[in-house]
Amino acid sequence: MNFSPLFFTFDNKNIYASTNVDRDKSVIVEYDLSKNKELKILAKNPDVDVSGLHYSKKRKVLLTATYYTWKLERDFFDDQIKKIFSDLESKLPGIEVNLVSYNKNEDIYIVRTSSDKDLGAFFLYNIKTKKLVKLANVNPWINPKYMANMKPIQYKSRDGLTINGYLTLPVGKKTKDISVVVNPHGGPWARDNWGFDPEVQFLANRGYAVLQVNYRGSVGYGREFWKASFKQWGQKMQDDITDGVKWLIDQKIADPKKVAIYGGSYGGYAVLAGLTFTPDVYACGVDYVGVSNLFTFMKTIPPYWKPYLETMYEMVGNPEKDVELLKKASPVFHVDNIKVPLFVAQGAKDPRVNINESNQIVDALKKRGINVQYLVKDNEGHGFQNEENRFDFYEKMENFLNKCVGDKSKK
C-alpha cells in the first residue's frame, strides 16, 4: 500500500496525499493528521492511478490533478487555469502542453510543448494579453513531418487482464503484414508513456512497426495489476508480451515470420525469455544489458539496492526458497531452445546488470556452436552514454535487424 503526502492544505491543518490504502487505484485525498483520518477524495480515475496535484501559490487554490491514461490528462479545480489551458491548446492544437514555470504574480508562464513526433518547444505566455511567443525549439533539427505517430492500443491477456500499450507504424509504408520490433520497457516496475521516443522513431524510420507493451507489473494501472507481476518473470509477464504479438498478427499488422524483439535491462531479460520460452514467436532478438540468470543477478546487485533485497525476493523470487521458480525463469538454463539470431550488447562496468549476465548467455550459445553477435563497451555501465558507443550500437543493431527481419522489397 502507498500513502504519499503531497503538501499541506492552505490553512495548514490537513494535508493532501496520493494513496491507494484500502483501494486498488491511487486517488488524491484530503487527510486529517490529528485524527489520522481520510476526509474526502478530491480526484480519482477508474482505470489508472492519480498521483499529481497542483496549486497556485499566489491565490492559494487547487488547480489540477494529473494522471496518465494513454497520455497525460487533467482534472480541473479552478476555472482560471482551465481557461489558460483551453486557450493554449487552441493555439497549439494536437500537442501536449505543460506549464513549467511562472513569475511571482502568476500572469507570465513558461510553456513547454511536446508530442509523439516532436520534443517540442518553450514559449512565453501572458495570461492578460493571451500573447504566446516562441522562445526556442528543444531539438530544431528534428522534422516532425518525417516522424511516426505513436497510437494507443489495448488487448486482453490470455487470463483476462486488460493490457495497454502503444503501436508506432512507419511513415509511408504499408501497414499490413509488415516487420515488427517488439520493444518491452525496462524496470520492470515502470511504464511506457505517450511521447517522443528516439529509439522508437529510429526503428520506425527503418521501416519497422514498433510495439510497446505495458505488461502486468507496469506502474500506474493500480495495485492489483502491479501485484499480478510478483514471481511472474518469464511467465505471465512474458505471456502479456507474447499475447501482444498474437494481437498484432490477428490484426494482420505483423508478418508472423518477421517479428523481432529488442529491449534493455528488464527489457533485455524479456528478449532472452522470449527467445527461450517462446522460440517460435520471434525471428531474432537484441538483448541490451539484460538479465540471463536470476540467481547470479540477485547475488551481484549493487550496494545501493541492498535495502530492497527482501522486497526483490518477494517480487521476483528468493534464490534459496524459490530455486525451481528462478531456474524455470532464468533463460540461461534454457538456452538450448534458442534457434534464431541473437545480438547482445553490454557495458563492462554495469553495476546493476553485471557483465556476467551477458557473458553467461553468450558462452552457453557458443558452446552449442552458435555464433552470437556480442558488443561490449569497456567504458560503459547500465546503458551506453558515450555518443560514439551509442552510434556503434545502433548501427550494429540496424544491420542485425535488417538481415533478420528487414523488408527489402519496394513499397
Please check whether residue 213 is in contact with residue 184, taking contact to mean a CB–CB distance below 8 angstroms: yes
Selecting among 26, 157, 265, 330, the annotated active-site residue is 265
pLDDT of residue 411: 43
pLDDT of residue 301: 85
State the pLDDT confidence band at 369, using cuts at 50, 70 and 90.
confident
Is 350 an annotated catalytic residue?
A: yes
Single out the residue of 47, 5, 52 nearest to residue 30, CA to CA: 5
Is the peptide bond preceding residue 341 cis, with omega within 30 degrees of 0? no
Single out the residue of 86, 245, 92 nearest to residue 165, CA to CA: 245
Selecting among 49, 115, 382, 407, the annotated active-site residue is 382
Is 101 an annotated catalytic residue?
A: no
Residue 161 reports pLDDT greater than 70: yes
Is 382 an annotated catalytic residue?
A: yes
Non-local (6+) Cβ contacts of 182 within 8 A are: 210, 211, 213, 241, 244, 245, 259, 260, 261, 262, 274, 282
pLDDT digits (tens, 9 = 90+) for 256-272: 999 999 999 999 999 99
Selecting among 330, 350, 358, 407, the annotated active-site residue is 350
Which grid cell sits at 192?
Answer: 511506457
pLDDT digits (tens, 9 = 90+) for 299-355: 998 888 889 899 999 999 999 999 999 999 999 999 999 999 999 999 999 999 999
CA-to-CA distance for 306 and 140, rounded, in angstroms? 43
Please check whether residue 215 is in contact with residue 191, taking contact to mean a CB–CB distance below 8 angstroms: no
Q: How far apart are the first and last CA of the chain?
A: 52
Indicate the pTM of the whole model. Answer: 0.94
* Residue/partner pairs of 266-269 with CB below 8 Å, 24 or more apart: 266/184, 266/185, 266/186, 266/187, 266/188, 266/290, 266/291, 267/183, 267/184, 267/185, 267/186, 268/186, 268/353, 269/233, 269/234, 269/331
Topology annotation, domain 148-405: Rossmann fold (3.40.50)
